[in-house]
């Protein structure tokens, strides 16, 4: 079912973003009195088709949900009636054509701002940046970090969650800065500024999810209590008589403080008899369980508590009113745009691995995951993909909007359009580049999937 859910989430996300992008072209073309023949979401055979409006514009939903297009009246493609020549796209001024082409990516950026604003209005709930275990001889230890510190700002920019800390650190690495300053709050409410050495931290480390490993600390997560959730049938836990809601007090006489203590002890004693002291309905009970040996680790077949709530001390809610949310949404869109462009530039100069290029499989996977994490997470993902789609379409590659704008720039400079033969030749090169890029993205997706 997860595969089906991911596919449906992918179609939903791409469908929204393609519709927004193509609507930008459509709306500006209509505004500038260019005739629209077809508005298509997807490519290939039409699944649904209807004509609307005075111009009988055909609206289509097609079988392949990986893009779309707006077909306008154009003398280069079909014969045009003399009375409608003035409405043909190819007869429009350079400014009009440029505005219509630029409108698609522009609407993606506007949509990202709106989506991020909605995210901030709903509110982002996440773990505050409390530091957990410190690795010996790590960058964090050498910088003076201690377990229990809370990071409250990065380079004097207030931070609430780990996500913003990682993003700001990535910005510093992209800008080739050697150090970054983390402001921390100790358990005694004292504030310090600690400098982190970034010389051994790369973009690939952060993109590959190695931020915490390279810095040398772990995010602190308050452990859930040692209370049993669901008991799986035909398992050692059920056979021993455990019940949902049992609280683990001790194992073989050793006190248990939280779920991690319980889980670690069980893992370390496969096939061995364990005496368990539990509390059930205000009564203390002794049970005996023998964990199954699963690849050398003990397993008893229980889940943790499903209704465990993380204490408010460790959670932060970032939420704004409409006006401030729009400001924050604009800032977020701008920051993501700059980061995306910087990473692209680093890839072109071979400073960042091409392994981080993702394709439709990864997008589908993240679409499915974020849709299950809640509205804020899904909106954040939607905004990220919308910004990425806008930037990619502005690249000066033939067949993309940026390629058309590049042709218009040449036309503006030389005073005449690019010849049809030149445009056709460059479009073939653009098609080859896009196919190679898509092939690389799918290859990376499959490698991540099977590895």
Query: Taking the domains of the chain in order of start, what are their residue ranges?
Result: 106-123+324-451, 125-222+310-318, 236-299
Per-residue confidence (pLDDT) for residue 324, from 0 to 100: 95
Per-residue confidence (pLDDT) for residue 371, from 0 to 100: 74
Name residue 255's beta-bridge partners. Answer: 250
Give yes or no for a contact between 168 and 115, defined as CB atoms under 8 angstroms apart.
Answer: no
Q: Where do the H-state alpha helices sit in 198-321?
A: 203-207, 211-215, 236-240, 259-267
Among 127, 125, 1, 23, smallest CA distance to 69 is for: 23
Using DSSP's 3-state secondary structure scheme, residue 114 falls into helix
Q: Please tell me the distance from the alpha carbon of residue 180 to that of residue 276, in angstroms, as a whole number.
A: 48
Residue with tokens 């690849």: 295
Q: How many residues does the chain have?
A: 451
Q: Mark the ranges of the chain whose per-residue pLDDT is less than 50.
A: 1
Residues catalogued as catalytic: 22
Structure tokens at 394: 């502005």
Per-residue confidence (pLDDT) for residue 193, from 0 to 100: 93
Residue with tokens 């590959």: 208
Q: What is the fold, at CATH topology level, of the domain defined by 236-299?
A: Pdz3 Domain (2.30.42)
Among 341, 325, 364, smallest CA distance to 449 is for: 364
Per-residue confidence (pLDDT) for residue 1, from 0 to 100: 47
Element (H, E) at 37: strand 36-52
Q: What is the CATH number of domain 125-222+310-318?
A: 2.30.42.10
- Summarised one tens digit per residue, pLDDT across range 377-416 is 899 999 999 999 999 999 988 888 999 999 999 989 988 8
Give yes or no for a contact between 438 and 360, defined as CB atoms under 8 angstroms apart.
Answer: no
Per-residue confidence (pLDDT) for residue 112, from 0 to 100: 96
Residue 356 CB coordination number (10 Å): 14
This prediction has a pTM of 0.81
């Amino acid at each position: 079912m997860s595969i089906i859910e991911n596919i449906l989430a992918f179609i939903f996300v791409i469908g929204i973003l393609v519709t927004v992008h193509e609507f930008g072209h459509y709306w500006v073309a209509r505004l500038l009195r260019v005739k629209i023949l077809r508005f298509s979401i997807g490519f290939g055979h039409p699944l649904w088709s209807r004509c609307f409006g005075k111009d009988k514009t055909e609206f289509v939903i097609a079988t392949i949900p990986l893009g779309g297009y707006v077909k306008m009246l154009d003398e280069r493609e079909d014969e045009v009636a003399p009375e409608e020549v003035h409405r043909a796209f190819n007869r429009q001024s350079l400014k009009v054509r440029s505005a219509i082409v630029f409108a698609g990516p522009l609407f993606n950026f506007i949509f990202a701002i709106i989506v991020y604003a909605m995210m901030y209005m709903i509110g982002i709930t996440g773990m505050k940046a409390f530091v957990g275990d410190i690795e010996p001889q790590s960058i964090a230890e050498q910088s003076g970090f201690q377990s229990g510190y809370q990071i409250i700002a990065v380079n004097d920019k207030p931070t609430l969650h780990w996500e913003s800390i990682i993003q700001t650190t990535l910005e510093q690495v992209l800008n080739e800065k050697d150090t970054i300053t983390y402001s921390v709050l100790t358990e005694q409410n004292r504030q310090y500024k600690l400098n982190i050495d970034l010389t051994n931290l790369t973009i690939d480390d952060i993109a590959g999810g190695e931020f915490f490993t390279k810095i040398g600390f772990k995010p602190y997560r308050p452990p859930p209590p040692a209370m049993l959730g669901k008991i799986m049938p035909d398992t050692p836990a059920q056979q021993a008589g455990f019940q949902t809601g049992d609280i683990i007090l001790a194992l073989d006489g050793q006190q248990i403080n939280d779920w991690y203590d319980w889980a670690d002890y069980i893992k370390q004693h496969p096939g061995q008899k364990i005496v368990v002291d539990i509390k059930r309905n205000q009564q203390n009970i002794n049970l005996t369980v023998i964990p199954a040996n699963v690849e050398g680790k003990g397993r008893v077949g229980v889940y943790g508590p499903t209704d465990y709530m993380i204490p408010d001390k460790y959670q932060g809610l970032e939420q704004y009113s409409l006006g401030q949310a729009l400001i924050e949404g604009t800032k977020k869109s701008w920051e993501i745009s700059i980061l995306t462009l910087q990473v692209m530039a680093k890839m072109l100069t071979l400073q960042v691995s091409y392994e981080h290029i993702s394709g439709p499989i990864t997008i589908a996977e993240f679409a499915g995951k974020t849709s299950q994490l809640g509205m804020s997470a899904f909106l954040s993902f939607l905004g990220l993909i919308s910004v990425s789609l806008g930037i990619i379409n502005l690249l000066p590659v033939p067949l993309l909007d940026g390629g058309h704008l590049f042709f218009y720039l040449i036309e503006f400079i030389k005073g005449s359009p690019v010849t049809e033969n030149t445009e056709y030749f460059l479009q073939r090169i653009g098609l080859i580049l896009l196919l190679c890029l898509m092939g690389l993205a799918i290859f990376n997706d499959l490698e991540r999937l099977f590895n």
